[in-house]
Chain A
Amino acid sequence: MKYMLMMHARMGKGDWEIFNWPAQDIKAHIDFMQRLNKELRDAGELVGGEGLTGPGQARLVRAGNDGRPLTDGVFPETKEFLAGYWIIEVDRPERAYEVAGKASTAPGPGGKPLNMDIEVREVMSCSPVEV
């Protein structure tokens, strides 16, 4: 079974909070993520994943009535934003929650765990069981 883990990070002033951290804390955070990725890769569980650029560059695109795209800019009222995601393949949901739990503890300012929200969603598959 495959799961998508979506990391919801707190927004800062128009962008990621992390941009305002001291250099050493940023480094500790990045190191943590790289270690986690390596662990998942080495276990043969990592199917894919990416980090995303800051919300300051995010655009919402929606077609208008004439079919032409309308875009929307920064979203100041949003407190959390998708910062990145992983897709992992595991043999039971508990393992996905375990990975998410670990990702949630990524260090923030002063090395304190961020306890971020990690949304865990099972990816739909094409293998039906008998009906």
Chain B
Amino acid sequence: MNPSPRDKASTADIRTRIKRVIVESLMLEGLTPEEIGDDQALFGEGLGLDSVDALELVLGLESEFGIKVKSEQLDREAFSNVNALAGFVERHLELAGSMRAARK
């Protein structure tokens, strides 16, 4: 029985993985994941990402963490920085976990 992604993920690990997804899925050439601060603004100022980047990022996160993000849940707050994104991903992992539990 495979451990769920939630079981495997540690807090620090989630942030690192998120940063990797940001760099790779958004093709931020020349930027390393380590260079992205946990509370650095991602949109507008800061990293300067836009709405299409957000959509592309969602795809990357869905793929990396095995979660599903509904359109209604795409709000600026959740994507404001890596910390916020970590919370966003954790909530989705919990949701997936509790849905699995409910089905057992």
B is a partner of A: no
